[in-house]
Structure 1
Amino acid sequence: MANTCIIIPCYNEVNRLPSEDFIAFSKTNSPIHLLFVDDGSQDNTLAILKEISDSSLSVSLLTLEKNSGKAEAIRQGVLHLNNHYKTIGYLDADLSTPLSEITRLITIAQTKNVAFVMGSRVKRSGATINRRLKRHVFGRIIATFIDSCILKLGIYDTQCGAKVIGAPLAKELFKTPFKTKWLFDVELLLRMKHKYGKAYCKNNILEIPLEYWRDIGASKISFLDILIIPFDLLKLYFSRK
């Protein structure tokens, strides 16, 4: 029986979904269950996801009728799971963070008994982090503001799409809908800080530099979303303790 479930939110992923990689992984990593959440896709994504889920008992599929965004898709995935999983994680469907990396994060979370393990896209010797300069600069500006003014937890990269959380904690953090669309990772950490305190977060959040990450491109963040981000940051700023 799988002791970890990784949730993969999907919306119109036909041109970005490496289905063969997921199928191969599911057949050789039985302790890890993959839950794909189709977030109301309007292309052929659902058909591809059905093929993947039919290929292995280690894969399942949750279908949402309407597109609700990544945050809500992951939240519905968490709420959908039963209680036999030890850890719950999530991962981007395009595998910008490869499956080998999420496996490494799972191992770290379970061997170190840490409640919240998150990948971090740090450029360093020996690591392959391919990220467009414009996206990197914009991301660093946002990340610096987030940690210095909102979270104050010493976190370098809140927005990396690979995270592994202890199941009881995940169930608590994902209990209610998120107020923001693209900054739900920040809101997740802020919820953790509000409920359990800064000291708990310092002792139970572990940020792990990734060995490999690549910028797939074809970002789903629209120009309107970019305009909304500052208002979401302010919303989180005024909700902090």
Structure 2
Amino acid sequence: MSSAIIVIPCFNEETRLEVLQFRKYALAHPKHQFLFVNDGSNDRTALILDDLKAAVPESFNVLHLSQNQGKAEAVRQGMLQAFQSDVDYAGYWDADLATPLEMIPDFIHQLDQVPQLSLVIGARVKLLGRQIERQQLRHYLGRVFATAASTVLQLPIYDTQCGAKLFRNSLQSRTLFSTRFLTNWIFDVELLARSRQLEKFYQCDSLETTVYELPLNRWQDVAGSKVKPHDFLKAFFELCSIYWNYLRPSIKKPFATLSVQTGSDQIRKVA
């Protein structure tokens, strides 16, 4: 199986980190590594992560941020470090394991089987035979937001906010994380908006052909989530910011520079 690094952003996760689950998975999948990003936690999270790394250093690594910078920046810094490794794929997963670790091989299998894919996104679709347990209010608020995000992105995507995503380790993927995000709550949508810009300015393949939504077999709301219902209001303001900064027709240059390899020549377009 292909190699992968999964970034786990952590902020005050002392009571929710399932250390045994991570160790059990690492033992069964030696080609998969975890990079925990301690986002300035002020509880015992740092000590727990350091102990985990000391116990199994070949499977676990820790990046400590000196102060809390928010999930978006924690994920971004973790992904940049992960991409520097010689792995096939890098992604991020929620620390509470609402999406079980056992789903990771399914994400990897999809990227292995379809070379043109650059990103696999988990989708919390409640179907017969699947165990998707979400609070009713959050589910319906999420559906309204997902519809708005789909409209802004002009992309028929079902679930932008699931905290399980896996990227192919490529120049294009690295470029998506090269600069700080403008948003914090919905940086997942901002990543897709950045991809739209790469389509526009660098003629990259479209999201419709490079992104795959994988319906999850199991997902469960975990107590202690830091996302509250009123945060969905913030998300709509951030969605407006994403449209204005990335997707409005009058934008003349992209958010970052991408080097495009064509045969033996390298073409660099400067933002």
TM class by shorter chain equals: over 0.9
Q: Give distance in 1, aligned partners of 2:123 and 2:51.
A: 31
Shift of 1:112: 1.7
The answer on 1:202 being equivalent to 2:208 is: yes
Name the stretch that deviates more: 221-230 or 82-91.
221-230
Shift of 1:64: 0.5
Which of the numbers 173, 177, 180 marks the counterpart of 1:174?
A: 177
Q: Give distance in 2, aligned partners of 1:102 and 1:180.
A: 26
User: Any residues of structure 2 matched to 1:199-238 within 5 Å, and which?
Assistant: 200-221=206-227, 225-238=231-244
Q: Deviations over 1:211-238 (max 9, x none)?
A: 0000103221357744422221211122
**Is the 2:122–2:165 Cα contact (8 Å) retained in structure 1?**
yes
> TM-score, length-normalised on structure 1?
0.94
Which ranges of structure 1 fall in alignment gaps of 5 or more residues?
A: none
Q: Bigger radius of gyration, 1 or 2?
A: 2
**Is the 1:147–1:153 Cα contact (8 Å) retained in structure 2?**
yes
The answer on 1:68 being equivalent to 2:66 is: no
The answer on 1:126 being equivalent to 2:132 is: no
Aligned length: 240
Coordinate RMSD, CA, aligned: 1.8
Q: Give distance in 1, aligned partners of 2:216 and 2:185.
A: 21
**Is the 1:120–1:210 Cα contact (8 Å) retained in structure 2?**
yes
Name the stretch that deviates more: 35-44 or 227-236.
227-236
Q: Give distance in 2, aligned partners of 1:178 and 1:189.
A: 12
User: Any residues of structure 2 matched to 1:5-84 within 5 Å, and which?
Assistant: 5-56=5-56, 57-81=58-82, 82-84=84-86
Shift of 1:108: 1.2
Give the fraction of aligned pairs with identical amino acids, expressed as a percent.
39
> Any idea what SS the aligned residue of 2:206 has?
helix
Q: Tell me which amino acid in the other structure corresponds to 1:108.
A: Q
Q: Tell me which amino acid in the other structure corresponds to 1:137.
A: Y
Q: Give distance in 1, aligned partners of 2:242 and 2:223.
A: 27
Q: Give distance in 2, aligned partners of 1:222 and 1:180.
A: 17
